[in-house]
């Protein structure tokens, strides 16, 4: 039963490609305990259509910490050329890091926020994907600069989607996608925060 499965709530955002990058992303994906591959390739379990992404860019590997009866997850960088940022830590090829409850992941311009809701099952886990029309991650120091990008008009917020992302804790407060929230440069951000502060 699904309520016993660990659920990964995964929010995705790309500043330029928008929804086209996520055309092959299902709303829900159940996976066994083998590593879940994320990349451009057809054999990737989560296929993202971006030309600069590696065929296998990263993996999410379920495992169990000794002494724990629950699943943990380890994110491993699989791109030989690119890198992956996880909670401010840069991973190069074959480097890996265990995930915490909420994780900010950036790679090839993609922002991915993973919220883990742990369940009892050791057989499988579920990913629920949410496409965000607005940035999920930003650099706090960028608020003090004049550099920002206008969010394209076709990405004006849709009420139900915003409500879903708010409900899951990916966003806080009312949608303000027209505001000047700067984009972090891909893969080079320093410290990043999940919640956006409401501008005064």
Largest interatomic CA distance in the chain: 50
- For the bound state, the minimum distance from the C-beta of residue 152 to other proteins, rounded and expressed in Å, comes to 36
* Contact indicator for 105, 113 with CB cutoff of 8 Å: yes
Spatial CA neighbour of 50 closest among 126, 93, 118, 112: 112
Q: Work out the angle at residue 151's Cα, subtended by the Cα atoms of residues 147 and 157, and round it to the nearest 5 degrees.
A: 140
CB nearer other proteins, residue 23 or residue 94:
94
Question: What is residue 42's three-state secondary structure?
Answer: coil
Please report whether residue 141 would count as binding other proteins according to CB under 8 A.
no
Q: Smallest distance, Å, CB 172 to other proteins? A: 32
Contact pick of 28, 63, 141, 145 for other proteins (by CB under 8 A): 63
Q: Classify residue 196 as left (phi > 0), alpha (psi -120 to 50) or beta.
A: beta
Which among 30-38, 41-49, 111-119, 159-167 is the span making contact with other proteins, rule CB under 8 A?
30-38
Q: Kindly identify the residues of this chain, within the stretch 71-110, that bind other proteins according to CB under 8 A.
A: 71, 76, 78, 80, 92-96
Query: Interface with other proteins by CB under 8 A: which residues?
Result: 33-35, 56, 62-66, 71, 76, 78, 80, 92-96, 122
């Amino acid at each position: 039963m699904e309520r016993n499965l660990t659920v990964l709530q995964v929010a995705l955002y790309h500043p330029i490609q928008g929804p086209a990058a996520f055309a092959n992303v299902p709303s829900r994906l159940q996976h066994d305990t083998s590593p879940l591959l994320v990349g451009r390739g057809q054999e990737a379990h989560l296929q993202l259509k971006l030309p600069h992404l590696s065929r296998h860019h990263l993996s999410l590997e379920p495992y169990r910490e000794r002494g724990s009866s629950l699943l943990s997850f380890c994110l491993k960088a699989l791109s030989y050329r690119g890198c992956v940022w996880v909670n401010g830590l840069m991973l190069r090829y074959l480097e890996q890091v265990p995930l915490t409850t909420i994780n900010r992941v950036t790679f090839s311009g993609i922002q991915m926020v993973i919220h883990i809701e742990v369940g009892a099952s050791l057989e499988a886990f579920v990913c629920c994907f949410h496409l965000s029309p607005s940035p999920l991650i930003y650099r706090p120091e960028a608020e003090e600069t004049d550099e920002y990008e206008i969010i394209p008009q076709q990405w004006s917020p849709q009420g139900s989607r915003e409500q879903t992302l708010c409900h899951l804790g990916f966003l806080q407060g009312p949608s303000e996608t027209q505001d000047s929230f700067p984009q972090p440069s891909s893969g080079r951000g320093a410290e990043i925060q999940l919640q956006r502060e409401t501008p005064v």
